[in-house]
Amino acid sequence: MDNKIVVITGGSSGIGRALCNCFIDAGYKVAIASRSVEILEKVKSDLRSEGHEILTVKTDVRVDNDCKNLVDKVIEKYGKIDVFINNAGITWYESNEDGINIKKHKEIMDTNHFGTVQCTKYALPHLLKSKGSLVGVCSIAGEVGLPNRSAYSASKFAMNGFLNSLRVQYLNKGLQVLITYVGYTSTNIRKIVKDDSKSSHFPPGYGDAVKEKGMMTPAEAATHIFNGVKKRKRSVRSSAVGQLTVWLNKLFPRLNDKLAAKYYS
């Protein structure tokens, strides 16, 4: 895999950081993007101390020119892209006290959906040339509407539809489009939300160490995604609960509504 190039947005922490390790261990050359220069430099320094070199590019996926610059920098250094992973994302827990927050809806849609669209716009020509892999780190919330996550679910449904459409569009061009439907994973993404909400109640995964026990780790999620790329799958669902939720939603939608309202609230 010495000549394979992977680009990971949101690559400085959580699942993105774990993906960085997975692909480095497999011999890929890695480029990661993040909004924080400080954190990017810390990752680069840590990996350099282990004998690895990576390309880091400050990128806000909400900004079209940043997405173009990311792809340009990778092509300038490596000349091609084999795998592009749209991992950058944010979430929001809409408590009854908060209600529907239009500002948050726009912010989440700009990051999760349009960030994916903008990065893909610039990466796609290179992926078609290499017959590579376009990856979206989606969510079970992109297949099943979850309570108090209307902004997050809307953004992931949009991302899901966008990538599924591209798969069909380029079906005969050798492009792999992999959508990974990640379940609850122990990262900081929801801990940040908890500090910014008026709610007094949160479901598992929002900064409660006891409730997080037994949740999937970023490394486990990254391994599922890496294997999905390696086997050129069209989708990966790494959570047993997530898989059950999706199938129940297809077979017994009314029952699933009640279970989702109870389990995910």
Q: Where are the beta strands (DSSP E) in the chain?
A: 5-9, 29-34, 55-58, 83-86, 133-139, 176-182, 235-237
C-alpha span between 143 and 203 (Å, rounded):
19
DSSP assignment string, 81-120: -SEEEE---------TTT---HHHHHHHIIIIIHHHHHHH
Residue 173 neighbours by CB under 8 Å, 6+ apart:
128, 131
Q: Positive or negative CA dihedral for 116, 117, 119, 121?
A: positive
What is the per-residue burial (b if ≥16 Cβ within 10 Å, else e) of 131-141?
ebbbbbbbbbb
152 in catalytic set:
yes
Which entry of 28, 93, 152, 181 is annotated as an active-site residue?
A: 152
Distance between CA atoms of residues 20 and 7, nearest Å: 9
- Backbone φ and ψ for 187, nearest 5 degrees, come out as -130, 180
The answer for residues whose C-beta is within 8 angstroms of residue 4's C-beta and 6 or more apart is 27, 28, 29, 82, 83
Catalytically active residues are 152
